[in-house]
């Protein structure tokens, strides 16, 4: 990661900035031809970010001015960590920030005793499944999904995501 950036726990007074980062990052999907506008506009609420913060599972990538330019939010699903959301503002892309956030989450999960980190993502977009595969995540076949993962997939479908183009991935720690 560019040394001008740091990964740190989120501060409560900056949680209101995170939906804007998520929305800006979502524009990359539009540029890639993704036409699921409903899913692109469905950002995480500030209340949800407060929940992640209160649970101690929300980190930001801060720029040289210590303002958030990216974040990672994690939940616990079926006895492992689950990366619910990771975004980097496109103005700060291509600097290794996303990779640093992923590695930070995996290090936290390992240190706190979770045996794996899972996530759901787009199969073919270069900054989705191929990116995670480069970071030791593997695709889980549907028959390997736990009840909690099945619930996440069902909720994503309900929100309008097309699961034909998505995968569940996991990284054993």
In a domain, 1, yes or no: no
Please list the residues that pair with 168 across neighbouring strands: 120, 140
Would you give the distance in Å from CA 156 to the centre of its chain? 14
Residue 59's domain spans which residues? 6-172
Q: What is the DSSP letter of 163?
A: G
Structure confidence at residue 8 as a pLDDT band (50, 70, 90)? very high
- Distance between CA atoms of residues 44 and 52, nearest Å: 11
pTM of the model: 0.92
- The 10s digit of each residue's pLDDT in 143-173 is 999 999 999 999 988 887 777 888 999 999 9
- Give me the CATH number covering residue 50: 3.40.630.30
pLDDT of residue 30 exceeding 80, the answer is no
- Distance between CA atoms of residues 80 and 109, nearest Å: 8
In a domain, 24, yes or no: yes
Count up the domains in the chain and report the number.
Answer: 1
For residue 37, the model assigns a pLDDT of 47
In a domain, 98, yes or no: yes
Q: Which residue has the higher pLDDT, 124 or 19?
A: 19
In a domain, 51, yes or no: yes
For CA atoms 88, 91, 94, 97, give the dihedral sign. negative
In a domain, 94, yes or no: yes
In a domain, 88, yes or no: yes
Q: Which residue has the higher pLDDT, 88 or 28?
A: 88
- The 10s digit of each residue's pLDDT in 101-137 is 999 999 999 999 999 999 999 888 877 899 999 999 9
């Amino acid at each position: 990661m560019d040394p001008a950036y740091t990964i740190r726990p989120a501060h409560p007074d900056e949680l209101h900035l995170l939906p804007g980062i998520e929305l800006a990052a979502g524009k990359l999907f539009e540029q890639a031809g993704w036409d699921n506008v409903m899913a692109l506009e469905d950002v995480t609420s500030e209340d949800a970010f407060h929940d992640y913060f209160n649970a101690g599972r929300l980190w930001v990538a801060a720029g040289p001015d210590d303002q958030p330019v990216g974040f990672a939010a994690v939940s616990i699903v079926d006895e492992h960590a689950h990366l619910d959301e990771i975004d980097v503002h496109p103005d700060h892309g291509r600097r290794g920030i996303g990779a640093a956030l992923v590695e930070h989450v995996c290090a936290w999960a390992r240190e706190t005793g979770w045996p794996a980190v899972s996530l759901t993502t787009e199969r073919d977009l270069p900054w989705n499944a191929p990116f995670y595969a480069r970071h030791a995540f593997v695709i889980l076949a549907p028959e390997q999904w736990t009840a909690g993962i099945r619930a996440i997939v069902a909720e994503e479908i309900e929100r309008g995501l097309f699961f034909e183009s998505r995968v569940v991935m996991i990284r054993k720690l």
